[in-house]
Amino acid sequence: MASSLDSFHPTPAHRQILCKAFEENVTPVVLIFHKPTIHKLIYSSSIDRAAEAVVFAIYFAAITSMDPTQCLKDLGQDHSSLIQHYRFATQQALARANFMQSQSLPLLQAATLFLTCLRRPGDADFVWAMTAAVVRMAQGLGIHRDGTHFGLSALETEMRRRLWWAIYLLDSQSSEFRGMGPQISEGGSSYDTRFLLNVGDTDLSSELESGRVQQQPPEERVGFTEATFCLVRCEMTVLYRQAHLSPEASPLGERLHRLGQVHSRLQERYLRFCDTSVPIQWVTATVIRLALARSWLLAHIPQETMTVVEIAPGTGNPLREQLLSTAIEVIDFAYLLETDPRTSQWSWLFEGYPQWHAVLVVLTEVCARPQSSLTGRAWAVTVKAVTRWLDTGYRAAGITPKIIFGLMERAAAAQGYIWDGAERKERY
């Protein structure tokens, strides 16, 4: 363990660049901190070990979110070297603060941000294992219980909610990637922390400005706020887990009815306020559409069997047509979130979760259908997405490159397409 981390801190000029990157690239999509509070912490002349861990986690998150070209231009070092530098510093800072034996909310915030931003394929097992520890520590601190039970201030209650739901999202994603059930269970007394409020940081700042504890929470805003994107992710993840990860699967009709109710709620509360000319609001609307399409698809295709249920085969069946069209949408939306210029600041968050189940549906359908405009569109969308997702090295439990390549070859042969995947196949 390093005796001091002074040499790992950035220069004042680089610190300013990293803080700007964190504020623009991370906080709109990962809401853990209160920006005015964290800004004071970063620029403080003296910080304790827990605060130092928070600061290094912020630097690591900022570097993760930055484009490699931007890193070289603004910071004078290549992206991978900076990732290694700040990863080591963050891990050392957590160890120096005795994270695993602590009961510190700032340390839990730092660890959650750090794990959320570990995006490389080789980190999946580490993130999954460490997330289990983070969940247990959160439960030990009572973060899984809403702050209103304890008479906490409005600001502290909201910070606990932000942290709990960031952990919840981390648990969901890391578990899905490993093909395991999440640590946090649904229903019963597992947790009762409420969703974060649809408010901005300025709505929560009156307590700091007045110097008096505010028990009354701010009134939620109607429309898009700094919290809306994260709130949407939380609501959609809860829907997915309740519908697809419950011990006893509900009937298809019930799942679709619930999905329809959620769609109406999201449309009424969020979608109708999204101005798609504003990048983060376009991203939010696209995430909603992706999540709804994915939920509809998985309602018909249990992940345990990966077989289409309750839809008779044949291209003339309307539900079968909707199945293929929806799978295409899922792939297309996921690809857009990674590559569209409007999401360039936040694409780092969406990389690492390829929609392989939708790919399997599309390729299976294309193999069994005659050539048409729909199969042509399906093929075009799938080829560009599969090429990108295989090159990134991200996998899903039970879905290997061999399976994907086999289906790609069969689909190309069935449709009479030429696919240049032979050379790529040798690399996997």
* pLDDT tens per residue, range 321-335: 899 999 999 999 999
Closest to 96 in 3D by CA, of 135, 35, 51, 158: 51
Which is higher by pLDDT, 27 or 314? 27
Q: What is the pLDDT of residue 205?
A: 76
Structurally, the chain folds into a number of domains equal to: 2
Q: Give the span between the Cα atoms of 3 and 320, in whole angstroms.
A: 62
Residue entry with tokens 């809306």? 228
Residues 354 and 242 occupy one common structural domain = no
- What is Dmax (Cα atoms) for the chain? 72
Residues 233 and 316 occupy one common structural domain = no
Do the domain assignments include residue 226?
yes
Residues 236 and 285 occupy one common structural domain = yes
Residues 312 and 354 occupy one common structural domain = yes
* pLDDT tens per residue, range 36-48: 989 889 998 889 9
Closest to 237 in 3D by CA, of 200, 201, 262, 256: 262
Residues 311 and 264 occupy one common structural domain = no
Do the domain assignments include residue 177?
no
- β-bridge partners, 40: none
Which of 211-220, 359-368, 371-380 shows the lowest mean pLDDT across its residues?
A: 211-220
Do the domain assignments include residue 331?
yes
Single out the residue in 250, 268, 300 at which a domain terminates.
Answer: 300
Domain of residue 288: give its range: 222-300
Residues 359 and 258 occupy one common structural domain = no
pTM of the model: 0.92
Could you tell me the pLDDT band of residue 426, with boundaries at 50, 70 and 90? Answer: low
Mean pLDDT of 407-411: 90
Do the domain assignments include residue 369?
yes
According to DSSP H, which parts of 180-249 are helical? Answer: 206-210, 228-244
Mean pLDDT of 11-22: 97
Q: What is the pLDDT of residue 394?
A: 63
Q: What is the pLDDT of residue 303?
A: 52
Query: Please, what is the Cα angle at 197 between 282 and 141, to 5 degrees?
Result: 120
Residues 391 and 423 occupy one common structural domain = yes
Residues 241 and 285 occupy one common structural domain = yes
Residues 322 and 414 occupy one common structural domain = yes
Q: What is the pLDDT of residue 197?
A: 96
Single out the residue in 253, 277, 300 at which a domain terminates.
Answer: 300
Could you tell me the pLDDT band of residue 310, with boundaries at 50, 70 and 90? Answer: very low
Residues 342 and 404 occupy one common structural domain = yes
Q: How does the average pLDDT of the chain come out, rounded? A: 89
- β-bridge partners, 399: 396
Q: Are 90 and 99 in contact (CB under 8 A)?
A: no
Most confidently modeled of 206-215, 230-239, 383-392? 230-239
* pLDDT tens per residue, range 76-119: 999 999 999 999 999 999 999 999 999 999 999 999 999 999 98
Q: Give the span between the Cα atoms of 117 and 26, in whole angstroms.
A: 9
Q: What is the pLDDT of residue 246?
A: 62
Single out the residue in 265, 300, 335 at which a domain terminates.
Answer: 300
Q: Are 49 and 97 in contact (CB under 8 A)?
A: yes
